[in-house]
Structure 1
Amino acid sequence: MQSGTEAVVQKARGKRKRKDNQGGIADSGNGEDSSAGGQLGNDDTSDSQKSTNARKRTAPKKTASALNRTESAASSVTCNVDWPDSFKALEKTHRALNLVFTFCCTRKHLATTFETIRSAVESHTKKVLTIEDVASIAAVRPEGVNFAYIDEIMLQTEVRGAERDVTFKAGRDFRSQAPAPDASVGGISGLEKLDQHPDERVEGGKEVLYFEFVDGDLKRQVKDKKTGEITKPNRKLREETLKIPVYSQKQMTNLIERRNQKFIDAMNVFINQCISDNLDPEQALSKAADAFIPVPTAPEDPPEKNLGALPESIPTERKSIPEIVQELKDSLWYTGQIVPDGHRVFEPQEAVYGDLNFLLSQDLVNALYNAKGITQFFAHQAEAINGLLEGQHVVVATSTSSGKSLIYQLPVIHALEKDYHTRAMYIFPTKALAQDQKRSLREMLSYMPGMEDVLVETFDGDTPMKERNAIRDEARIIFTNPDMLHITILPQEERWRTFLKNLKYVVVDELHYYNGQMGSHVSFIMRRLRRICAAVGNRHVKFISCSATVANPKQHFKTIFGIENVRLVDFDGRKEFLCWNTPYRDPGDPASGRGDAMFECARLFCQLMLRGVRIIAFTRVREQCEKLVTAVQQELESIGRPECVNRVMGYRGGYTAQDRRRIESEMFEGKLLGIVATTALELGIDIGTLDCVLTWGFPYTIANLRQQSGRAGRRNKDSLSVLVGDCFPTDQHYMQNPDELFTKPNCELQVDLENMLVREGHIQCAAYEMPVRPVEDAEYFGQDLPQICEERLLRDAMGFYHCHDRFRPIPSRFVAIRDTEDDHFAIIDITHGKNEVLEELEASRATFTIYDGAIFLHQGSKYLVRDFQPDKMMARVERVKVEWTTTQRDFTDIDPIETEAIRRISGSLSKAFYGTIKIQQNVYGFFKVDKKKRVLDAVHVDNPPVIRYGKGMWLDIPKKALQILADRRLHIAASIHAAEHAILSLMPNFVISLPGDVRTECKVALKEFAKKESQRKRPGRLTFYDAKGGASGSGISTKAFEHIDHLLQQALKRVEECYCENGCIECVASELCKENDVMSKAGSQVILKAILNMEIDVEALPMGPEEQCPAGLETVIVAQPVPPKDRNNLRLIDIKEEEFEDQDTVLLEDAEVWTGNE
């Protein structure tokens, strides 16, 4: 029961709200939506540059609705008695606080801590300012004041701001230009106290007492650099982002007066209520103020994830997908996000049941019912199982998770019933999938009398060494991945001989994953497995696979395993698909640009989750994954559903094995309502009954989108897939043309069995496992195996071939089947004195993720990098509560350094070059950015560059092309970028490859369109390099180099024949690139024609600058010749020796003719 004082306070607030409701005038546009469900990303309502999340001690958290913030002087409240003297003094204190705080808000470097503002307030009031005084003010107007202890680091972006702003007042290019020598003036890394030298170490966890008014906002203005007059900033705030804001005297005066009147009204309401309830106002206020006295609190540990039953507010049975979609459309926040023709419904195939051609034991029938509730089989399940028992291999193609596990499990258990020595191997591309299926199979076996103790175990990189021997010798079923089969099982075939001899079923899930170069590796691993099984007398192994919907599942299955006699089974369930576009920042004004897709995803995620929809959201990269987890958790808090916060978790690479297992278990048990994942979970893991897939931004290819979409849908239940459009050109292309997402044919999976780099590596591995017999083993490795053995292996006296010495001692260690890294950085959590490994980070990501002062994201929490030690491969981090994240300032240079081969372009003097490529990544600083993507601070760091090497090809652009582009004022960098994309898009036509297997140096708008001259000039060159394969490359760019003539000709043809005006994804834009705005279609034709030595109609070219490529200072210089690796071994293709001798001279002459300044 409430005390009398508490009742007075509550009644006073209620009266004030009712009065506010009658007042009718909103304060400065700061009203908030108080409707059910809430609104994500409410407007910033503080006077300072940002509002800080406060932590009060006992006062209950109150939602600041629009009614709380719509008071005005026109709706003043009167009091029938004189104020007590203490109330008059408090009003005077409020006026002084108001004046001082508003002044500090106009000085970005003045943080309004209690200690900072105390003396200024006391000079106005002529009395000591106490914490109790401020708490009393907060008690009277709790919705307008924030008074609490906060992490000191929250204030560090406010200090020394004036000096920093002067240093970093660059225009549009401020993100991409290297910093000036004195760029660190005023910049702080997050390691500095407010009053200490920047080089001294800061103690973690310190809090300061912070004060702010949160009931009004000074509108940011800037000075015109020519006239000096105060003006409004540009819409995009490009040039004003880091300038010192200025505020007019009238604006400040109005805000001060309005706030003072609100306080007087609140005091009058409070006194009137006290008189009405026969209470002493002074005593009532003193007691109420106690709840608003801040208490320092150390940061809390993240909540433990020992989750119990789901909150009662979550429906146990969700509505149908059509009903839920209609509810979303009827929501107050829905503004037409579903694009025209962007809502599609795919009806399911009719549910048809089938029968098995053999009898199951009663024990197995009972287990099916008890574990899965199955009393009959769907036709596609019966067809697949019957095919296996008839001696066929089976591939199941489905766009939904439609009971495929049963096809994997039932034949294996049936075989174990008949022969206890039977072995089975489940091969999954990821550890998560293996854990998921193992759990499901163990449950089935637990209901089988006499089979409860059948050993079913995981054998992967996380398996302790001491347990591996027992698993190998005793397990009947193992769950593993291609890597372990390649590195451990096959090279140790003698130890695994019993297992392999009794191996009856090999399950290879997610067959579509094995595509491109990874597919080539797995194809040969499967051939090595079949070869060894045959050698030990086992020619009866049956292969079972499941694939997402692709164009050629049966043929792909045959290619991967090298077998015939394959039965294809396909089935689809009901699915709805939404193309959901992020609204404009200013509704109805396209010029304002799209809003934040992350907040749109978070709101949609929460609204679906709270309706009982089991949801998974896919992001493209790890950083997005962590940011979306944070945004979802904040949205749940903001709409009053904190009990659901710990029901959302992230799942991505880098987590420790223990964390992965825990998350996987909670997913499967249904304790989690939502998952935010990268492609680590794209591959069909069973997280219970998954209802919805939400994809943040177009996932690079339609194939990826369809595979992600297929994760939702379970047996007869309907499902939903949502693609949320981001601001990038590719996303918006599909938002405007959604039909392409549904009508483009399924991609054909490509596996190159002729790639000699891959092929030889696996032949060497096979020779190590068991000597190669060229004629007999040709069925596994190709008809030219005898010739390869003669050239690359070692022959013994018996005519058998063995592994070459250069691949010893263990060849599989030299043949990497995917781009994994051995070097990892340990991220160590030191919060509250802990010393625990939070996660591990690949070395290639470290430079861009961990540096002194960086904010590292993990499961929605923010960790400050306190101590980065690259030499020890570790970083110490401490959890903090801050309202900003960090974004690195970096650039990457792709440069050829050694020429190994030269090829003449047919009919042209131009040449293509092949050789070693240097990829150098540089991080030279970072920004502190708030949730509205505003830059709060710019910090310089001195990190060494990350350098790696690969193989690739390049073409130097002729001088005449550069001159024409300069004369016509066509953006040279944009022209190069467009030409590179056009060539890249056609490589799969000549070389079996996937998007992203070969990459180029993309041009960044912030640099290329800058008004300030860049010191980082790049050579006029088209460069392409293998993204995989390490220093030796993957072999893809080698084959592209061999077809360069046709590549150039077809690229030019595609650009010329495309009907678009300025470039699209059908010609020069790329789905994989985020910088498609740096693109000149006309300029790309000039470059391609010049390389091919074709006539260029200069007068027909547009005169620039083009609308989409604003004129900037030139960033391209003439390419210099790349020295040969070895002149004696240089391959000259269609080039005479004397021509090669002259090439350096020709290139140098080109450099002298065109300077780029004409």
Structure 2
Amino acid sequence: MPDVPTHPLLDVLLAGGARAERLTASRTFPERTAEHADWPRWADATVVQGYRRLGVDRPWTHQAVAADLVHQGRHTALATSTGSGKSLAFWLPALSAVRTAAAAATLDPGNIESAHVRPTTIYLSPTKALAADQLSALERVLDAAGTRDVRVATCDGDTSREERSWVQDHADVVLTNPDFLHYSLLPNHRRWTRLLKGLRYVVVDEGHAYRGVFGAHVSLVLRRLARLAARYGVGSPTFVVASATTAEPAVSAARLIGVAPDDVTAVTEDASPSGRRTVVLWQPPEITGWRPPADADLSAEVGSLHRDRSSDEPISMRRADLTEPDPWALPAAEPDPEAAPVATEAPPEHPRRSATAEVADLLADLSAAGARSLAFTRSRRGAESVAQQARDHLRHAAPDAARRIAAYRGGYLPEERRELEQALRSGDLLGLATTNALELGVDISGLDAVLIAGWPGTRMSLWQQAGRAGRAGADGLVAFVAREDPLDTYLVTHPEAVFDAPLEATVFDPANPHVLAPHLCAAAQEAPLRAEDLSAFGEPAHVRGILEVLVARGALRRRTSGWYWTHHQAATGLTDLRGAGGSPVRVVEQGTGRMLGTVDAASADGQVHDGAVYVHQGTTYVVAHLDLADHTAVVQRRRLDYGTWSRSVMSVAIEGWGEDVEDADAGAQGGDGPGHDLVTREWGPVTWGLGPVEVTSQVVSFQRRRVPDMQVLGTEQLELPEHTLGTVAVWWSVPEFVLRAADISPEEAPGALHAAEHASIGLLPLLATCDRWDLGGVSTELHPDTGEATVFVYDAYPGGAGFAERAYDLGATWLRATRDAIAACPCADGCPACVQSPKCGSYNAPLDKAAAVRLLDAVLSHDPAYLGVAPG
């Protein structure tokens, strides 16, 4: 065990030494003293007075530096830690600008120069919750300042017509989200003339959240906004991108807003105070003496869950609740698409205690000790489960503490989320089990401890969540609790991978033609595209080439004055920023009609099918009926001793397979998603393919399992529709004799293919400027279309996003980098650095690192460009 750091709450976690062996590593980060600066001279005195009355006597240095850059009109990337007060840096210049303009008009109302348009600000956040939180904080500043001449409001899809009209006519500061810009404000910009004419600042909060395809979409929405603002005569507004600490913040911000990196100034030196933060890595203990219940057929439960052998699926395609069986924890029994799937092998003889059960114990102990804590879980189900178990632990020993523990997750009604946030701030709540919904910038300060159940996906997310502990200069304790997962196990036994590895860059590609094309159509509908506009959307030659394709296909019309949208329907309907895939399903209580929450459309089949158990703040409900047409699930409240688990199947079909295909040597240029031509090429016995595929997922049944022994009480079939993602995939197939020549036995083949699939997905972002979460994959030792062992990697985006094309064009480079990365990794059997995936649809099993290297060597040996050259 490592040297145990000193922290007043650590002994609570260690239970006086009884849990000491579970702590695998620790590090204490020193406290940071505050560095203050004077208020800028240009800052409005009334606004400054408001901040002072709220306790901000002087700003921290990074706040003052960033605010001054913004005031000067410099695009600014502010990347400092959670709780470092980034909002002051953009609200100070924004509010001061409005106050200065209002004062000028008041002092000299007859002067025509004082009748200019009031400066306005648009604030964008990835979630409505964060916008609402910022509105509350902004109103506190204005109330403290005693000023009523700055008009602020939120405006989104939930805003009524009357409220929206007021915002259009009067608001100086509008807090919204990229979706509202795309679907409403920009297409109807003439109704927003006043706001756009005065647009001085655009604030993009939580900038690190805009990555992958979503980030590319938002980048193009921002470019459309800047173009319209310039057309209304104010020039380009000043952009502020506030982000968590991330790699290359200026480069990422510049790409996001569409300017050169030199045009963005990064502020990264954090001058806010921070207490000591102790971070511990924690591995739950093995459970000895456990055996599955005699009548629980776990081999069937964890058997073949997919029509194909294994899959590495994006979150957008996960509809089954395939969480690991957890006989030691009360499952909150609400299926969640983010939960990790079960293994495809029999459970180990001595399984470790689940992270959910472990974190529930720790949260209960911290709450009993009076500590205010957050417990981050990987799923909605996990949040409900941790909260319920913690309450159960304390119900008799500390009933007051038990009443002060709750769950927080997406799907709750907005007013319920606000109540929970306020209760945590005020101390009415001691413990809150949450999904990553509280990872973003909602103001939750003064917490003593943060528990993280399972790897959150990136180091950036880990440190965002950890930053909730010990804010405002207080000491904080953070515990990362490993799930029984190879990735988590690797991290808690290799602390350098957590503490010393660099943060990830925010990756997205706004030049991707599949993303860019529909935004060019939307921009042309907003105002005809001129030749001088093209540079705003990327390299002019590249943009012009896409416009020519759109003209050829009838989407746009080319005239001497520019490119025009000539259709009746809205061009914004050509794309979905988030790929949500439909309206959310409302969960409604039978009899009362009370709406409990919502479930996103992509997950509804697995979460709220008929007979499913739905849990809301520890209260259990049974779904009486799921009406997909009406987007409603009607539930009945019941006391239950069981939970439900759904099962799904998944398959990938190649469209047009068996028909005449294009000669692959001609390349794969000009594809457009579902209409993409199917092309192939041969490397001797190895076949490469690129083309349209259908990735199909269907929830087919569910089990009822008694709590807590997990005894299977029954299985019921479900008749739910299949959900199909039409996209583009790249694949390669090898005949059986190639596998045998590589000394890969039939038993090793699934692990070799699966490991190669994972590693190739991990390496593709280096070549395709995408994010791992923009991709999905499937590997199978016998695919029905190819008739051979096949590895697929597909774009997790309807119609494709160009990533598969890039992989096809650079096939040899891609696979060689994949092979070398696996071979160079010093681990013995595979780790997250090579063949394990954080989003594996079959729980990183089976994987065979050595066989994967042999397989890739065999495939690359047939590359025409390298014939006769040994791989590596």
Same fold (TM > 0.5): yes
1:227-252 Cα deviation digits (max 9, x unpaired): xxxxxxxxxxxxxxxxxxxxxxxxxx
Amino acid in structure 2 at the alignment position of 1:391: G
Counterpart code for 1:387: L
Question: Displacement, 1:845?
Answer: 1.3
Which of 478, 482, 491 in structure 2 is aligned with 1:721? 478
Which residue among 936, 943, 947 is the counterpart of 2:719?
943
Among 553, 566, 582, the alignment partner of 2:264 is 566
> Would you say the 8 A contact 2:583–2:601 is kept in 1?
yes
Partner of 1:407: 89
**Partner amino acid, structure 2, of 1:1072:** K
- The change in CA–CA distance for 1:644 and 1:380 in structure 2 (over 3 A counts) is same
Counterpart position of 1:631: 389
Which residue of structure 1 aligns with residue 828 of structure 2?
A: 1061
1:1082 and 2:850 are equivalent in the alignment:
yes
Alignment partner of 2:860 out of 1084, 1087, 1092: 1092
User: Which amino acid counterpart does residue 1087 of structure 1 have in structure 2?
Assistant: L
Aligned residue in 1 for 2:404: 647
**2:580 is aligned with 1:820:** yes
Deviation, 1:969, is 5.1
Quick check: 577-586 or 430-439, which moved more? 577-586
Give ranges in structure 1 of 5+ residues lacking alignment. Answer: 1-319, 1009-1014, 1096-1132, 1135-1158
Q: Deviations over 1:825-851 (max 9, x none)?
A: 332212xx3222222222321221223
Please state whether the residue corresponding to 1:377 is helix, strand or coil.
coil
**1:1023 is matched with which residue?**
792
1:579 aligns with 2:579: no
Determine if the alignment matches structure 1 residue 976 to structure 2 residue 673: no
Structure 2 equivalent of residue 384 of structure 1? 66
Structure 1 residues 983, 497: CA separation in 2 closer, same or farther (over 3 Å shift)?
same
* 2:240 is the counterpart of 1:483: no
Q: Which AA in structure 1 matches 2:761?
A: L
Q: Mapping of 1:1043-1054 within 5 angstroms?
A: 1043-1054=810-821
Which of 735, 745, 752 pairs up with 1:958? 735
> Would you say the 8 A contact 1:666–1:672 is kept in 2?
yes
Q: Which amino acid aligns with 1:690?
A: L
1:870 deviates by 4.1
Q: Is the 8 A contact 2:453 2:481 kept in 1?
A: yes
Partner of 1:350: 33
The one-letter code of the counterpart of 2:651 is D
- With 624-633 and 728-737 compared, the bigger mean Cα shift is at 624-633
Q: Does residue 747 of the first structure (1) align with residue 504 of the second (2)?
A: yes
1:426 to 117, 123, 128: 123
- Is the 1:360–1:414 Cα contact (8 Å) retained in structure 2? yes
Deviation at 1:937, TM superposition (A): 1.3
Alignment of 1:521-600 (within 5 A): 521-539=217-235, 541-563=237-259, 564-572=262-270, 573-574=274-275, 575-586=277-288, 592-600=350-358
Structure 1 pair 1017–499 and aligned structure 2 pair: CA distance change class (3 A): closer
Q: Secondary structure at the match of 2:610?
A: coil
User: Whole-Å Cα distance in 2 between the matches of residues 771 and 842 of structure 1?
Assistant: 36
TM-score by length of 1: 0.62
* Map of 2:50 onto structure 1: 367
CA distance in 1, matches of 2:14, 2:238: 49
Alignment root-mean-square deviation, CA: 3.0
Q: Judge conservation of contact 1:670–1:687 (CA < 8 Å) in 2.
A: no
Three-state SS of the structure 1 residue aligned to 2:540 is coil
Equivalent pair of 1:511/1:557 in contact (CA under 8 Å): yes
Q: Distance in 2 between matches of 1:934 and 1:388?
A: 57
In structure 2, which of residues 625, 632, 636 is the aligned counterpart of residue 874 of structure 1? 632
CA deviation map 1:1098-1128 (0-9, x unaligned):
xxxxxxxxxxxxxxxxxxxxxxxxxxxxxxx
3-state SS of the aligned residue for 1:955?
Answer: strand
Partner secondary structure for residue 153 of structure 2? strand
Q: CA deviation at 1:1018?
A: 9.6
Deviation at 1:789, TM superposition (A): 3.6
Residue 19 of structure 2 corresponds to: 334
Tell me how far apart the structure 2 counterparts of residues 816 and 810 of structure 1 sit (CA, whole Å).
13
Determine if the alignment matches structure 1 residue 895 to structure 2 residue 662: no
Measured in 1, the distance between the counterparts of 2:544 and 2:698 equals 48
* Structure 1 position 729, deviation (Å): 0.8
1:617 CA displacement: 2.0
- Alignment of structure 1 residues 585-624 onto 2, 5 Å: 585-586=287-288, 592-624=350-382
Cα pair 2:285 2:352 within 8 Å, conserved? yes
SS in 2 for 1:881: coil
Aligned partners of 2:38, 2:149: CA distance in 1, in Å?
30
Distance of 1:682 and 1:544 partners within structure 2: 20
- Asked if residue 929 in structure 1 is aligned to residue 696 in structure 2, the reply is no
Query: Are the aligned partners of 1:655 and 1:839 in contact in 2 as well (CA < 8 Å)?
Result: yes
Moved more, 346-355 or 965-974: 965-974
Given that 2:227 and 2:236 are in contact with CA atoms closer than 8 Å, whether structure 1 keeps it comes out as no
SS of the residue corresponding to residue 187 of structure 2 reads coil
2:439 aligns with 682
- Equivalence map 1:975-994=2 (5 Å): 975-994=752-771
Pick from 842, 853, 857 the counterpart of residue 615 of structure 2: 857
Alpha-carbon distance between aligned partners in 1 of 2:788 and 2:638, rounded to the nearest angstrom:
44
Change (3 A) 1:422 1:869: closer
Are 1:775 and 2:532 an aligned pair?
yes
CA drift at 1:1094 = 5.1
Q: Call closer, same or farther: CA 1:945–1:1062 in 2, change over 3 Å.
A: farther
State the alpha-carbon separation in 1 of the partners of residues 238 and 789 from structure 2. 55
Q: d(CA) in 2 for partners of 1:788 and 1:953?
A: 22
Counterpart amino acid of residue 1020 in structure 1: A
- Give distance in 2, aligned partners of 1:364 and 1:868: 51
Larger RCO (alpha carbons 8 Å, 6+ apart): 2
TM-score (norm 2): 0.81
One-letter identity of the residue aligned with 1:334? R
Distance 1:1082 1:365 in 2: 63
User: What residue in structure 2 maps to residue 738 of structure 1?
Assistant: 495
User: Are residue 837 (structure 1) and residue 595 (structure 2) matched?
Assistant: yes
Which amino acid is 1:569 matched to? Answer: V
Q: How does 1:1135-1146 map to 2 (within 5 A)?
A: none
CA contact (8 A) 2:37 2:60 kept: yes
SS at match of 2:696: strand
Contact 1:436/1:664, CA 8 A, preserved across alignment: no
Q: For residues 763 and 742 of structure 1, what CA distance do their matches in structure 2 show?
A: 43
* Counterpart amino acid of residue 184 in structure 2: T
CA distance 1:487–1:966, change in 2 (3 Å):
same
Hey, what's the Cα distance between the residues in 2 that align with 1:917 and 1:445? Answer: 54
Using the TM superposition, give the Cα deviation of residue 804 of structure 1 relative to its aligned residue in structure 2, in angstroms. Answer: 5.5
Matched length: 757
Contact 1:795–1:801 (CA under 8 A) maintained in structure 2: yes
1:464-484 Cα shifts (integer Å, max 9, x gaps):
233211111111211101111
Shift of 1:1086: 4.1
Q: Which residue of 2 aligns with 1:323?
A: 8
1:888 is displaced (CA, Å) by 1.6
User: Where do 5+ consecutive residues of structure 2 fail to align?
Assistant: 103-117, 292-347, 658-676, 866-872
Tell me if 1:1040 matches 2:807.
yes
Aligned counterpart, 2:134: 437
- Give the greater-gyration-radius structure (CA): 1
